[in-house]
């Protein structure tokens, strides 16, 4: 989605929680920033730090829109954007089909 928006002339940045660069395929016009959570231990501490890092990024970058996927990142994004005026789209995708090995 970011690659297509970039091709259409929009400035796009992918922000991820982890530092590895191979997890997503994206075009050359898309910038990638990692909030780098690999060295943060503890669920609460990790989420608080990631939320603070995302908020700082939102305040500095002032994006037109924030698009977030998956429940935990959506929760962090909701808190991080409070009071910033950044518009957002949140999505959680799942499949209704289960692979349970029925013969």
Predicted confidence (pLDDT) per residue in 79-88, tens digit: 999 999 999 9
Mean of the per-residue pLDDT values for the chain?
Answer: 86
Q: Is the pTM higher than 0.85?
A: no
pLDDT at 77 over 80: yes
11's torsion region: left (phi>0), alpha (psi -120 to 50) or beta?
Answer: beta
84's torsion region: left (phi>0), alpha (psi -120 to 50) or beta?
Answer: alpha
Structural domains of the chain in order of their starting residue, each with its CATH number: 2-91 (3.40.50.2000)
């Amino acid at each position: 989605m970011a690659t297509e928006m970039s091709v259409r002339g929009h400035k796009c940045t992918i922000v991820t929680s982890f530092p590895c660069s191979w997890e997503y395929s994206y075009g050359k016009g898309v910038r990638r920033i990692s909030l780098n959570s690999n060295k943060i231990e503890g669920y609460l501490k990790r989420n608080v730090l990631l939320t603070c890092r995302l908020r700082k990024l939102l305040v500095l970058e002032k994006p037109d829109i924030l698009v977030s996927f998956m429940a935990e990142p959506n929760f962090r994004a909701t808190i991080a954007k409070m009071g910033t005026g950044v518009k957002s789209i949140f999505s959680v995708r799942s499949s209704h089909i289960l692979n349970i090995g029925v013969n």
